Each structure stands twice: as structure tokens, then as C-alpha cells.
Amino acid sequence: MQSDEFSESSALDILDRQILHALVHDARIPFAKLGAILEVSEQTVARRYRALRERGIMHVSGQVNAVPLGHARWVLRIESTPDKALRLAESLARFPDLSWVTLLSTGSEVTCVSRPRSVERRDALLLHTLPRASQVRALTAHEVMHRFPADEEWPRYRHLFTDQQLCELGAQRAGCELGHQSRLENTGPDTPLDLTAEDEVMLTMLGRDGRAPYAQIAAETGWTAPRVARRMAELAQSGVLYFDLDFAVERMGYTARSALWLRVRPSDLHAVGQAMATHPEVVFVAATTGPTNLMASVICRDTPHLYRYITERLGALDGITDLEVTPALRVLKQAQTLLNSDRVSLVR
């Protein structure tokens, strides 16, 4: 019997999964280069990519990391009256600064990630908008102190490549000199960067389509295509810009999403976070402020898989003193896309 982390859904064949892994590693990799690595034509890669998008299985977007801009990330837990929780989640999904909006299985709690681009926008949300909402009964804001980068980004398809192919992709691997920087940096430059109006136009376009052509962005910004490419590289190098993939995970064979809220002894916090970042089920793990000091998001095949993960893999770690598991009833918004049934669709 196949292990949980490597059993695959019939929705994707090996080539689909290889393409997804390459995009997770380098969202703007030229299709000609990827085709050469996979020994298929550029047209085949482009056709498969379009099919994945049109089927609503994945979407590539450019995201702004607020940390190098001098702002923190927050994980919010919002308690609502049960009859209004879904309406609250739907409203929050439309906020541009909010992502990963999830209605929990209790039916009365919504979680989301806030990435405010200014102190004013942070305060407006935390001190005015949410406290004044009639359906909000309680709010807990966990500031992300440190995000533990994964050794391999989910859905962890690296095993489908040879070492030579991984080197050609630039992926980190033993025996390969090339490496890549984590998509989300915990620290930025000494002086927070200032974004220009043209930067904002480019970032908005990349938020809607992470593979938007340089020429298309140039037409909107008034820059030349080479200048667009240079500025995009500068923002990526600084950690301000990173690229993310949203997935319709149910169509990939995963039915159990959960948030884990852990209390860990301070002396063990870093070791536990680093260990969890290597677990195939974990898609995000960070040390936070608040009543719990470690938060993780996990994706499992089903509830029995979730149980085995908690009791076997997580239970083997020293230092965890308390654990709360909050399964997702519905995920309304991911990094940049809404979930419509079992499809990802762009926020309009």
C-alpha cells in the first residue's frame, strides 16, 4: 500500500505533477526550458498548463511579503455567532489584505491571514472594522514572529525528478550546487523598501496572473519590458515579491485541511518548528504571539490520515505541551483565489 504522502489522485498524471512542482519552484519558468527538462515540447507544457488553469486546479499569483516593507503578518481567529459565520467569512474573503479565509468545523469561528501594507490599514482592520462588526463576538490576533521554511514546498513532487532535472530547475538537492531562496523571508533589508506607483501597478497585475508577460506589464506601467524584468527581479531578490500557487486540493485527492494551534516549551520551539517544516502534511508553520506559540496548516488525505499524523509524526516530537486541532469546514479564499465548490477562481 502506498504511503499517505505519495499516494496520488487520478486527477493528475505524472507530467501534470512535474509541471506543478516546477511552477512551485519557479512560477515564471519559460515553457521552452521546462519542456526541455521534461523532454516534451514547449507546446505540450503550455497546453497542460492551460488545462490545469481552466479546470480550476491551480492558479499562479505574485504576492507581496509585507515584512521587508516594515510590516508584520498576522493570523486572526474570529469568533462569530453561528448563524452569521458564513456571511462573515464571505465578507472577509473580499478584503485585499486578507488571505486563507477559512470557516472552521465548529461553524462559529473564522480564521484568516492578514498582511497589511501599512500601519493605517492594520489598525483600521483590527481596531475598527472587525470590532464594530455585529457578528464578531471575539477576536484573537497572533503576530507571526518567525515562519519556518519548508525543505520542499507542498505538494512535494520532487521525487518525480532525477537529480539532474532538479539541478536544471535550480532546485536544492544533494550533489547540486544550485539552490533557491525561500519564497517568504523572515527578515528584509535594513531599511524598508518604498514601492512606486509603477511597482504597485505591476504587483496588482502579478496578483491576478503570476505569469503575466513582461510586455503586457510594460504596456500598463509605461516601462520597457527589460525594465519590468529587472524590477521584478529586484523585488523578488529583496523578498518583497514572491510567487504562490493556489490549488483545488480536493480535486488532487486531499479532503482534510486543518489548522493546528500548539503550545511548545520555549526552549523547544525552534526545533519543533523546524521538524514540522519537513513533514509532508505541513504547508505552513510559524512561531506566533498569543495564547499558543506555534501555528501550522496541514493538508491530509482524509481524517484517518490526520489522526495518524497527529498521533505518530507530531506525537513523536518533544516539547509540545498542548494541541488544538481545528478542521476546515470550508476554505473560502486561499492566497489570491476564491474557492468555488472544488475549483479555484480569481477574486474579482
Domains within the chain, CATH numbers bracketed = 14-55+153-183 (no CATH), 67-144+335-346 (3.30.70.920), 189-238 (1.10.10)
Which pLDDT does position 3 carry in this prediction? 43
Of residues 294 and 121, the one with the higher pLDDT is 294
Residue type, 294: L
pLDDT of residue 170: 83
pLDDT of amino acid 174: 37
Is the pLDDT confidence value at 347 over 80? no
Distance, CA of 9 to CA of 39 (rounded, Å): 23
Residue 184 confidence class, pLDDT cut points 50, 70, 90: very low
Is pLDDT of 23 > 50?
yes
Q: What is the DSSP letter of 7?
A: -
Q: How far is CA 345 from CA 61, 112, 223, in A?
A: 12, 18, 29
Q: Tell me the pLDDT tens digit for each residue of 270-294.
A: 999 999 999 999 999 999 999 999 9
Q: What is the pLDDT of residues 237-266, one digit of tens each?
A: 988 999 999 999 998 989 999 999 999 999
Give pLDDT, residue 178.
34
Distance CA 205, CA 193 (A): 20
Q: Picking from 40-44, 266-270, 342-346, which range would have the lowest pLDDT averaged per residue? A: 342-346
Least confident interval from 136-150, 173-187, 304-318:
173-187
| Mean pLDDT, residues 147-173 | 87
For the segment 151-163, the average pLDDT, to the nearest whole number, is 92
Q: What is the pTM of this model?
A: 0.86
pLDDT digits (tens, 9 = 90+) for 130-139: 999 989 999 9
CA distances from 163 to 21, 172, 176, 198 (A): 14, 10, 8, 40
pLDDT above 90 (res 316): yes
Alpha carbon distance 339, 348 (integer Å): 12
State pLDDT tens for residues 48-79.
999 999 999 999 999 998 888 888 899 999 99
For the chain, the average pLDDT equals 89
CA distance 337 to 318: 37
- Tell me the Cα Rg of the chain: 20
Decide if pLDDT at 204 tops 50: yes
Q: What is the secondary structure of 13-76 as a DSSP string?
A: -HHHHHHHHHHHH-TT--HHHHHHHHTS-HHHHHHHHHHHHHTTSEEEEEEE-SGGGT---EEE
Q: What is the pLDDT of residues 71-112, one digit of tens each?
A: 889 999 999 999 999 999 999 999 988 999 999 988 899 999
Q: Rounded mean pLDDT of 217-228?
A: 97
| 304 burial via Cβ count (<10 Å: 0-12, 13-18, 19+) | exposed
